[in-house]
Amino acid sequence: MSLKPKTKALTMLLGAGCLFLLAFFLLPLLFVLYESFLGTDGNLTVSRYLAVLQDNQFQNVYLRTLKMAVIVTVIAVFTAYPTAYLMMKIKSSHKAILMSLVILPLMTSPVARTYAWIVILGRYGIVNQTLSLFGLTREPVRMLYTEGAIVVGLLQLFLPIMVLNLVSALENVPSEVEEAALSLGSSKIGTFFRVIVPLSFDGLIMGVTLVFTGCITAYVTPAILGGAKVLTLATLMRQQALVLMNWEAATVIAVVMILTTLILHTVLKRFRPRNQT
């Protein structure tokens, strides 16, 4: 009988959050999914998907977006893992300072951070002026409105998220496990890849999912650093919806973006070490 008040309170707390997600997240997604299959005659059809998927522009934009998302995610993993691992090894006072430095960019507007790259990568920006000062280039190098500029902007935008996820996962790895592996003759590199990485794989999956999803759905950074020439799925969806008034194609693109992230998360979970399931 004593558990009933606790169970009721827990149900009420969970129910409020579930109702909010249902009303403002799940139902809108289901509505978008339904609209993407709804034809002009009111019947369900896949004609919109066929028209969009067979379009050469969509195919190029989709492959470009996937390529940039993969590049950013891979660089973020190989950069964030050593950073997160070293942060777990230093003193608590120093760790707090480093965590503050990691969180600080997240407290700045993505618009402001993206516009800062214009000052750095612009025709007369810091990079071009430095190259010209040392005589490495005669004319300014075109860096803005390229895929490389978008990759750099997205990496700076989502790298802190990867670091935070890995730090959270590594905090749950007992230090005794690493010490035991070293005492049994394993090298530090072998221990890292055979013990630390498998035990923190859940954090890696979450970090990769968030970074990859963020790269695919990001709009501000590709719009500013890519311009109208280098389109991504988000900027193409905006173009179809607000410029061309082709809401049907924009709806299909939105569904494709969602399905891509869900497929990625499902595939990553299959690579989860068996001893972690």
pLDDT on residue 277: 43
For 44, the 3-state DSSP assignment is: strand
| CA atoms of 154 and 105, how far apart (whole Å) | 13
Gap between the Cα atoms of 227 and 151, Å rounded: 13
CA 225 remoteness from chain centre: 17
* Residue 166 contacts residue 203 (beta carbons within 8 Å): yes
Q: What is the mean pLDDT of the chain?
A: 88
Residue type, 32: V
pLDDT of 273? 64
- Count CA within 13 A, CB hemisphere, residue 73: 22
Give the pLDDT of residue 154: 96
Whether the pLDDT of residue 17 is over 90: the answer is no
Sequence ranges of the domains in the chain: 56-276
What pLDDT, on the 0 to 100 scale, is given for residue 159?
A: 95
Overall average pLDDT of the 26-32 stretch: 88
* Cα–Cα dist 34/29, whole Å: 9
What class does CATH assign to 56-276? mainly alpha
With a cut of 50, say whether residue 1 has pLDDT above it. Answer: no
Residue 34 φ/ψ, nearest 5 degrees: -65, -45
How far apart CA 197 and CA 13 sit, in angstroms, is 35
Instruction: Provide, for the chain, the percentages of residues in helix, strand and coil under a 3-state DSSP scheme, each rounded to the nearest 5.
Output: 80, 0, 20
pTM of the model: 0.88
